[in-house]
Amino acid sequence: MWWSVDLFVVKTMSKRPFLGLFASPATLVAISIVAALLAIFQYSLRAYVPGSLRPGGFTIENFAVLWKPMFRKAFLTTFLLCFWTALLTLLAGFPLAYAMVRSKSSLVRGGILITSLTPMFLGEVIRTYSWMIVLGKQGIINVCLLRLGVISEPISLMFTTTGVVIALVHFTLPIVIIMIAAALSHIDWNLEKAAASLGAGRVRIFFTVTLPLATPGLVAATSTAFSWTFSAFATPQMIGGGKVQTISTLVYQVGFSSFNMPLAASLSLAGLLFTIAVLTLFNVGMRKIEKLGDC
């Protein structure tokens, strides 16, 4: 009888086979992650003993050091890099994701998918190196602009914030395209057809139907773009060349050039809290805006 079958299912569900066995290895990894973060926290509160790799006694001196102009500037630079990268990535990623999801030709869809995914498989170092060649004094941008007579002196985009942003947009695009495409593909196309049958123009449909429905996906994509850019290290390090200092490049520099591990720890901890704060504010803000749209 049907109810006895249901009862049987409920009973077996409560048995939960494999629970302990399957959750244990993951718990070990989770403990390692927590331990690593605790190690950073612990070091951030220790004094730096010059010439020694062992940290000294407990202090909050490191966080006072972070208030120095050099570090404040790095926070500002990092924020601006993340902001511009997230914005530009979103603007460049949306049309591509839209074309990928909506194109009628499977060749076009596959082509866009493979072109936009390939960079993801290359890693930060290869991609940044490629941009170094493009952006350098002898690079293609300079050669073309010089030949066309747009500029008379070679301009170098290397070691500039603009150069870093260009490479970071390239670095962040694949993941953003995938996320936007996933959001767009789950929109019910019939809603747009309904709007069209009621006489709305295509531009109006896009802004009043498609875009609002895609907003949650766009918000998630923007958050991801922000944290990917924040964690980028090779790109600001290689293209910034010490002239564009971000939190990631400073953590490395402080940790491995002056071996001041306590300061490196406090800087990365402050950086982590900073990203979490920005992302939380952004998500809360977007939710408020979405709610306004509902009224």
Partner 1 sequence: MKKAFSDHLLDWSGRLLVLLILIFIALPFIVVFIVSFNDSSVVEFPPKHWSLRWYFNAFSYEDFVKGLRNSLMVAAVGSAISLIVGAMFAFVFNRYEFSIRRPLHAILMSPLIVPNFTIGLGALLLAKGIFVPRSFGLLVLVHVMVTLPFVVRGVSVSLQNFNQAYERAAESLGASPWYILITLTMPLLLPGLISGWLFAAVLSFNEFSASLFVANLRNQTLPIAMYNYVREYADPTLAALAVLYVVTSAAVLTVLHVFFRLEKVLNVE
Binding test (CB under 8 A) with partner 1, winner from 90, 112, 195, 225: 112
Binding test (CB under 8 A) with partner 1, winner from 53, 107, 150, 198: 53
In terms of CB distance, is 270 or 291 closer to partner 1? 270
Residue 61 lies near partner 1 (rule: CB under 8 A): no
**Helices (DSSP H) in the chain: which residue ranges?**
2-13, 19-44, 61-65, 69-102, 106-117, 123-135, 140-148, 161-185, 189-197, 202-205, 211-231, 234-240, 247-256, 261-294
Binding test (CB under 8 A) with partner 1, winner from 107, 114, 150, 198: 114
Residue 8 lies near partner 1 (rule: CB under 8 A): yes
The footprint of partner 1 on residues 72-91 (CB under 8 A) is none
The footprint of partner 1 on residues 15-44 (CB under 8 A) is 16-19, 21-23, 25-27, 29-30, 32-40, 42-43
Q: Residue 206 CB, nearest distance to partner 1 (Å)?
A: 10
User: Which amino acid makes up residue 263?
Assistant: L
Closest CA to 168 of 233, 106, 248, 229: 229
Binding test (CB under 8 A) with partner 1, winner from 127, 195, 218, 245: 127
Q: How far is CA 187 from CA 190, 195, 220, in A?
A: 9, 14, 16
Residue 118 lies near partner 1 (rule: CB under 8 A): yes
Tokens of 10: 């409920």
In terms of CB distance, is 116 or 222 closer to partner 1? 116
Contact 261, 255 (CB under 8 A): yes
- Applying CB under 8 A, the site for partner 1 has a residue count of 93
Binding test (CB under 8 A) with partner 1, winner from 57, 121, 153, 198: 121
Binding test (CB under 8 A) with partner 1, winner from 66, 81, 132, 157: 132
Residue 113 lies near partner 1 (rule: CB under 8 A): yes
Long-range contacts of 208-217 (CB under 8 A, 24+ apart): 210/184, 212/293, 213/187, 214/180, 214/183, 214/184, 214/187, 215/286, 215/290, 216/183, 216/290, 217/179, 217/180, 217/182, 217/183, 217/184, 217/186
What's the rounded Cα separation, in Å, for the pair 77 and 247?
9
Mark 212-231 with x for binding to partner 1 (rule: CB under 8 A) and - for no binding.
------------x--x--xx
In terms of CB distance, is 65 or 99 closer to partner 1? 99
The footprint of partner 1 on residues 162-201 (CB under 8 A) is 170, 173, 178, 181-182, 184-185
Closest CA to 271 of 287, 286, 254: 254
In terms of CB distance, is 107 or 292 closer to partner 1? 107
Tokens of 217: 């996906």
Mark 231-250 with x for binding to partner 1 (rule: CB under 8 A) and - for no binding.
x-xx---x---------x--
Q: Region of 17 please: left (phi>0), alpha (psi -120 to 50) or beta.
A: beta
